[in-house]
Structure 1
Amino acid sequence: MVSSPHEAMHRIFQHDTKLFSRVSKVLGCDIPVPDSVTILPTDLTETGPVERRVDTLLRLDSAEHGDFLLAIEAQGNKNLAKPASWAYYTAYLWSKYRLPTALMVVVQDHATAAWAQQPVASGPPQLPTLTIRPLVAGPHNMPVITDPAEAGEDLVLATLAAITHAGDPAIGDILKALSTALRDQPEVVADPIIELIAQGLGKRSANKLWRNLVAVDLSFYKSDLAEEIRDEGRAEGSVNTYGTVILTVLEQRGIDVPADVRERIAECRDLGLLHTWLVRAATALSAAEIFADE
């Protein structure tokens, strides 16, 4: 199953199609900004039954420096079968479009970066007919941006850097710099970045930190993530209110409420069940009776 970090690591290049030129400078190959960039179909399936799809495919056109294709792959971990797939992608694209084809792999950990950087030849050692040597972007070479001013200079590049450093000990400072830099941005700029970062962090603990920063620093935005956080807050408030009312009803009726009952009410997050318990609390002869038939 494709993970949300996987999607964020390559879709960001669709969000800002000229991002690669800025990333290439960071990675030391300095590809000039193209005159235009076209997002191409990613389906590389032929008439046979095997389906093959590259993650993101761009055509970079430049009158001065020539045109070429850029295939972008997001890689979550080592996969020994991948170099063969990458070789297929680049050879097929080269053959189909008759354009030079480059491959960039985006990763989130040092071990995967070290593996992905190694050249792999399709032929035997004495005949390395086709060699795959992708450009790799990851925590080993992307900048750690903890200065809001620096993040604000190129928000999309800073976003990609944050995603590649999702497991870095400095991720808290990185995310805080980004949330600060986004405060003065219009929603049309901030919204996709907020969502890309949340997607790129996936299930890591840093995602909770980002959600907290969005809730506090960027509370005025109406992005999907911000609305989701607000909905969670409203639901949590309703849950807490129900729990308080149930205990109040029982106590006002002079019914003893043991610690285990209080704990069970406090831990419940089902509004429908809490409503049932509240109705029962009005007539129950003991606190335990509100849990009848459960």
Structure 2
Amino acid sequence: MVNPPHEAMHHIFRHDLHLFSRLKDVLELPLPAVVEAVVLPNDLTETRPVERRVDTLLRLDSAKDGSLLLAIEAQGKKDPAKPASWAYYVSYLWKKYGLPTALLVVCQDRATAEWAARPVASGPAYMPTLSIRPIVVGPHNMPVITDPAKAGEDLALATLSAITHAGDPDIGAILKALSTALQDVPENVADPIIEFTAQGLGKRPAQDIWRTLVAVDLSFYKSYLSEELREEGRSEGKAEGRAQASADAILVVLEQRGLDVPDAVRARVTGCDDPELLHRWLTRAVTAASAEDIFTDE
């Protein structure tokens, strides 16, 4: 079943058509400098009633190396049936368009990424015939971007970093860097990044962190997510709702980083109703050596 993280993992490549070319260092591949990128129809359905759709399909045009097709698949878990489908996609597209065809698989956990990267052949070991070996992007090779300046240099890459590292202990610092970087860009640039990140985090604890950061750091934006947060604030009591969300986010960040959270710290955080103080604690939570360190200088 298609879910928000699945959609965000491949739609980010439609949003920024040159993002794949900027993964040269991450993938350690001599990727061409793309002059033009075009989103192609993703419907691979045959005339017979068998529907097959690749998640995203791009044609990348290079002045030096010509054109190639890039099929992008978002993969949330291991699926033994997928390699055969991927082989079909690649061979069908190669035949239909007559262009070199590559497959990129985007994952959010290391185990799935390692599984997806394994070469799989249609025939026995002594007669492989048709082999499929995707290029894989996931938490094992995507950079952890925790510097707002670095995040601001490439917002799409920073968003992909956040999506692929959604379950990592460093996700709080990654999201904080992204929200800080978004403060300096126009609303029409920030809005899709805010939404892609929200979708990509799914129902993980990181979603609460991101919603709080959007409410606090990016409250001046009018995106769908920002409006949703403000509506929640109105229905629950604006100050109380925001304070509760901030307190929850602080505790989630500390727990995700593997830090022990004593009852005294938990009580002090949940009992605070000062938005500015909670925001300072949240900022410190992403780098603090211990839970108590968030109260430094208070």
Q: What TM-score results when the alignment is normalised by the length of structure 1?
A: 0.80
The structural deviation recorded for 1:82 is 0.1
SS in 1 for 2:60: strand
Q: Distance in 2 between matches of 1:237 and 1:173?
A: 28
CA separation in 1, counterparts of 2:24 and 2:12? Answer: 15
What's 2:173 paired with? 173
Alpha-carbon contact 1:105-1:135 (below 8 Å) kept: yes
Matches within 5 A, 1:6-21: 6-21=6-21
How far apart in 1 are the matches of 2:137 and 2:50? 29
Runs of 4+ with >4 A deviation = none
Aligned to 2:231, the other structure's residue is in SS state helix
Residue aligned with 1:29, SS: coil
Spell out the pairing of 1:159-170 with structure 2 (5 A cutoff): 159-170=159-170
Shift of 1:62: 1.3
Query: Which structure would you say has the larger Rg?
Result: 1
Match of 1:75 in 2: 75
Give the match for residue 255 of structure 1: none
Q: Aligned equivalents of 1:69 and 1:210: distance in 2?
A: 34
Alignment of 1:14-93 (within 5 A): 14-93=14-93
Between the aligned partners of 1:112 and 1:36, the Cα distance in structure 2 is 31
Hey, what's the Cα distance between the residues in 1 that align with 2:160 and 2:214? 18
Q: CA deviation at 1:34?
A: 1.0
* Distance in structure 2 (CA, Å) of the matches to 1:12 and 1:152: 16
Q: Which amino acid aligns with 1:139?
A: P
Asked if the contact 1:9/1:106 (under 8 Å) is kept, the reply is yes
CA–CA separation in structure 2 for the residues paired with 1:178 and 1:30: 28
Distance 1:142 1:180 in 2: 20
Q: For residues 227-268 of structure 1, what are the alpha-carbon distances to aligned partners after superposition, in whole Å with 9 as ceiling and x for unaligned?
A: 110011111129x8xxxxxxxxxxxxxxxxxxxxxxxxxxxx
Q: Distance in 1 between matches of 2:212 and 2:178?
A: 13
Residue 63 (structure 1) shift: 2.3
Unaligned runs of 5+ in 2: 241-298
When the two chains are superposed, the root-mean-square deviation of aligned CA atoms in Å is 1.0
Alpha-carbon distance in 2 for matches of 1:198, 1:90: 30
Identity among equivalent pairs (%): 72
Structure 2 match to 1:195: 195
- What SS does the corresponding residue of 1:104 show, helix, strand or coil? strand
- Count of equivalent residues: 239
Q: TM-score, normalised on structure 2?
A: 0.79
CA–CA distance in structure 2, aligned partners of residues 58 and 93 of structure 1: 11
- Which letter does structure 1 place at the counterpart of 2:188? V
**Cα deviation, residue 53, structure 1:** 0.3
| Structure 1 alignment gaps of length 5 or more | 241-294
- In the alignment, which residue of structure 1 is the partner of 2:213? 213
